[in-house]
Chain A
Amino acid sequence: MYKSLFHLTLLITFSAPISAQIQGFVLQIDGPPIEYASIQHSNSESWTLSSSTGYFYLPISLVIGDSLVVNRIGYKSTIHRISHPGTLFLKLSPEPIKMSAITVKAKRSNVFLHEKDYSSKMLKADGFNSQTTLNAVPGLIIRNTGGMAGNRSVSLFGGSTAHTKIIYDDIELTNPQNGELDISMIPSVFFDRIRIHHRDPFINRSGIMNGIVRIDPWQEKSNITVSRGSFGFQALHLNRHLGQHIWSADFNFGLVNDSGDYSVRWDGKTARRKNNWFRQRYWSGRTQKIFTDRLILSLSLMNSIQTRGVAGQIWSPSNKAKRSDHFLITGISIVYLTRKSSFKLIGSSRITEESYSNPDYAINSSHDVKVYDFSFHVKHSYSQRFDSQGLFAFKQENLFSTDAGNPTDKIINFGVNINYHVTPWLSINPAIMNQRTRLSDHQSSGQINLKFSGYNTFELIMSSGYGFRNPTLNDKYWNPGGNEDLETEKAEKLSLEASWSSQFGLDLFMTMNQVKARNLIQWIPGSEFWHPVNIARTRTNSLGLTAHFSNKLLPVQIQASMAILDTRDIQKKQSLRYAPKISGNIDLSFQQQMYSIAIQIHHTGDQIATYDWPDNVILEKATITTLILSYYPSFLNKQLNVVLTAENLFDRQYQSVYGYPEPGRRIRITMTYNF
């Protein structure tokens, strides 16, 4: 009986058609990654472009045997037939001939993983919890002030939230007023896929000491999604995807409502979190067109409006405080390609209007921030071994604040990045960036990378660099406390990254970092009010590990990650606050043709919330489990996705910012109809 069942299971398993989202790298044979190569899916005409690291991602389901057409001026076009799910390595020959189809066999070598990709697709998540995707990143800590209405920020490897940049479609989202970003202003559906950069000299203008979280908002499917869940959660999301082989566009519209009140245990008593409601309206559009084989145009817009109650700390709840914010980002990029060069012009704006009111304390503040950013990138390949990249950028930051006045900063950046491939298995990549600003001292950052591509699929990058972060506009001008004489934060970073892929579907990724920072700006209490000072010196050692396993013969995917942190505040001789010594995550999914089951277990170790004496205030460790059940029936000849999500499955009481307990078990059912 059991034997028969086993055979039946095997039969079902092996006979199931396998589809996959396709990602990979476009590379020059025995050479560097190729940027702006177009990768087109022959059947659906969906397409994408490779990034500066050669990376590409096609967020559509493909079937084994489908073909991808790869084009780039200056290279011989190829057709690649998909033989397995997972990462592809597509190689192009630098021969400027007309397209002629050949079939290449996917084989990985000589690629350097500048970036690590994390996607909610693996868990088949419904898209209404950005945390599901972010949890998979080793060393990434989410700090949330409770529920959907909470103020949410992220940091990497024990650093300050101000030391991690968030990039959306080449647009930097960091708020220059406080150096941070409340990611609750970005609709969670856009966190479908994120990439983590531990190094990027050309984004490294100010503030990046720990890494970059890059959000890729493409959806590439027309669908409508409705969702309903615990605590009065309701959501509607509409995505319309249009596209042909040289043009594609996405338009999104969505609504999210969450009543947000929930019960928690605190100080031995049950308390009700009130005034925690959240409403979000958003729309976005993105289009990309290849005009000729030389000219590519991209446009991107994202607009979100949030209103929410501000529940306050558990011991000091607020029933009247309210916050509203409007977030608008726009971007345009024009790329011109030649056989050996690329020219890219990017223009973007980031506008936020935030207001906060609390009648209990007669607070009525507003903060409008306008950032305009223009940059020009030139990349030229001198030979198969040697290429360089130059950058010139201008940015203007305007603040209109009831509390920090109306300062304006103008920032100019210029830099050079060189890639020299000494041998097919070794390359050297020095880069330097200089920044001149109106409000701060001139600064520079730099780094040098040594890249090894070893036996088979083993890769190693050693990097050493230095960076800086200018004081924010709040640091300088907040009334009271702002200090125009603050010095720039400085940091030195050493890192080692290694990756390895096996033939049977196991990918391993490791990153080790040491960051030494000085002049760190901290807001400290004073006799009258809090004020920022350059006092802190810190040292952070971190180790991040990620393992991913998927195999076409098995309907199971596993991804596990963990981070180990050793942090030190040199002055206090203590570990840094909100830097758990250990954190980890396990994603496990089982997928069949009509359904999938996924589970995420996320653990965060003990953290210091507040330095105190004789004992620090500790944020206790928490292990949170999320269960996702998905069912994919056919409806009117189209696929319907029904997803049941249980976040915090075991109803744990936990908090990521001290004094802001999170809700307990949250159940949500979501239906997506693809058309």
Chain B
Amino acid sequence: MSKKFTLISITILLLQLQFMISGCTFFLESDESLVRNNQIFVLCEGNFGYSNASLWSIDPNDEHVSGPIYRELTDNLLGDVGQSITYHDNKLYVVVNNSHVIRVFNISGDISFDTNIELPNASPRFLTINENYGYVSCWNLNAILKFDLNNISGTPDTIPIPGKPEEMLIDGNNLYVSLVLKQDWTSGDQVLKISLDDHNIERSFPVVPGPGSLVVHKGNLYVSSTYYDETWNKYAGLSRIHLNSNIVDSKDLGPTTELVGDLIIFQDHLYRINGTGIAEVQQDLSLQTSNQFIDKSNGYSAVGFDDMLFFGTTDFAAPDTVYLYNDRGDISAEFQIGGLPGSMLASSESVD
């Protein structure tokens, strides 16, 4: 932006933005259930404070992009900071963080806007679903809200969390939650294991500060971390929780200037996105940056299935580009979408 905001506005903007970005930059959601035939959905965050998040769909077969979907359907803007996107039972749930709302789309036929789940001042981050219940991590509430998706206008249950809950992952009857920040907004360093039966915190795992992305791979829960010191120098790390033994391995990767973000699984390999592409995670939790799977600057998010990998890049202003790579690491198509493609949703069943 041109420096239109005055002193106080800049204060708000910058201070809030640190926390927004530190937790959301590399979110990726890969849903294993059917989304739509021949489509992936891309949620663009937009610029914080500008309410220009946008939702797009990409058909890789005919290389067609549709969107911005919400604006086309309603003539309104999607909102401020498109945080995450989740699919369940023919519906898309789009969490718009700084608009404090979840926008629900029906995608059983032609996509249509269904309803809003208003969460005033909750700062919702991620939604995960288990047996028709949606769990929404909310920073400003220091809690997870549990919704009955068959009755979303009903009052949700509140699961108090000792910090700012970020990503969630359901494994069996447990909900794993990364605490990216403590209640005082300093970096968190825990992953919680919560029982879905009684919502009690059963265990807390110490990890590298700033835990965000969670992925289960070969019986282990991998946790990516990013944190900052007082002068906003960035550090990264990776942790691995052995789900059977509850043993935690951690590796602090030290200071970095590259974007180091989310974890993805592609063709049974675990990768982490960084500013120069996608690097495989080694057994010792370091990244194989010398011979990366993909070398491309400005990486921001990715999703893969079968032999295709979609890789979102950004220069932090619309339009940005999503590249389609094949399993040899070659670009086969590219798609222009809105600014900051932070989340993608796809399914191996949806693209043949």
Q: CB within 8 Å of B: which residues of A?
A: 143, 145, 151, 153, 160-162, 175, 177-180, 182, 267-268, 310, 312-313, 315-319, 321, 323, 354, 356, 358, 360-363, 365, 367, 403, 474-475, 478-481, 520-530, 532, 536, 577-578, 609-615, 617, 657-659
Contacts and interface: CB of A to CB of B under 8 A. Distances in A.
Nearest to B257: A527
Contacts of A310: 8, 12
Contact of A361 (B7, B16, B46, B52): B16
Nearest to A402: B11
A611 B316 CA distance: 12
Contacts of B18: 480, 528-529
Interface of B: 1-19, 21-22, 25, 46-52, 54, 68, 71, 76-77, 79-80, 98-101, 120-121, 140, 184-185, 228, 231-232, 234, 259, 275, 316-319, 336, 338-340
A360 B4 contact: no
Contacts of B51: 313, 315, 610, 617, 658-659
B175 to A, nearest CB: 25
A62 B114 CA distance: 68
Contact of B121 (A319, A365, A577): A319
A360 B7 contact: no
Nearest to A180: B6
A361 B232 contact: no
Nearest to A267: B76
Q: Which of B4, B52, B71 has the most CB of A within 10 A?
A: B4
Contacts of A614: 68, 319
A310 B16 CA distance: 15
Contacts of A527: 21, 25, 259, 275, 316
A365 B11 contact: yes
Given A313-B49, A316-B100, A360-B140, A529 B232 contact: yes
Given A153-B6, A613-B338, A525 B47 contact: yes
Contacts of A536: 2
A478 B12 CA distance: 13
19 contacts: A160-B2, A160-B3, A315-B80, A318-B121, A356-B11, A361-B16, A478-B10, A479-B232, A480-B14, A480-B18, A480-B232, A522-B1, A524-B316, A525-B48, A527-B275, A532-B3, A536-B2, A613-B319, A617-B50
Nearest to A362: B185
B10 A178 contact: yes
A591 B327 CA distance: 81
B77 A617 contact: yes
A403 B11 contact: yes
A529 B14 CA distance: 7
A524 B4 contact: no
Nearest to A266: B76
A367 B50 CA distance: 25
Q: Which of B48, B52, B54, B71 has the most CB of A within 10 A?
A: B52
A311 to B, nearest CB: 12
Contacts of A525: 17, 47-48, 316-317, 340
B1 to A, nearest CB: 6
Nearest to A475: B3
A186 to B, nearest CB: 14
A521 B3 contact: yes
B17 A529 contact: yes
Contact of B184 (A153, A362, A403, A522): A362
B341 to A, nearest CB: 12
B36 to A, nearest CB: 22
A323 B7 CA distance: 11
Contacts of B13: 530
A179 B3 contact: yes
Given A522-B2, A527-B25, A611 B318 contact: yes
A175 B7 contact: yes
Nearest to A155: B4
Nearest to B260: A527
Contacts of A356: 8, 11-12
Nearest to A356: B8
- Ranked 5 nearest A-B pairs via Cβ: A480-B232, A613-B318, A613-B319, A525-B316, A362-B185
Contacts of B10: 178, 474, 478, 523
Given A160-B3, A478-B10, A530-B14, 10 more contacts: A267-B76, A316-B80, A317-B120, A358-B12, A367-B7, A478-B14, A525-B316, A612-B318, A617-B51, A659-B49
Nearest to B49: A313
A528 B47 contact: no
Contacts of B48: 525
A609 B4 CA distance: 11
Nearest to A312: B12
A361 B100 contact: no
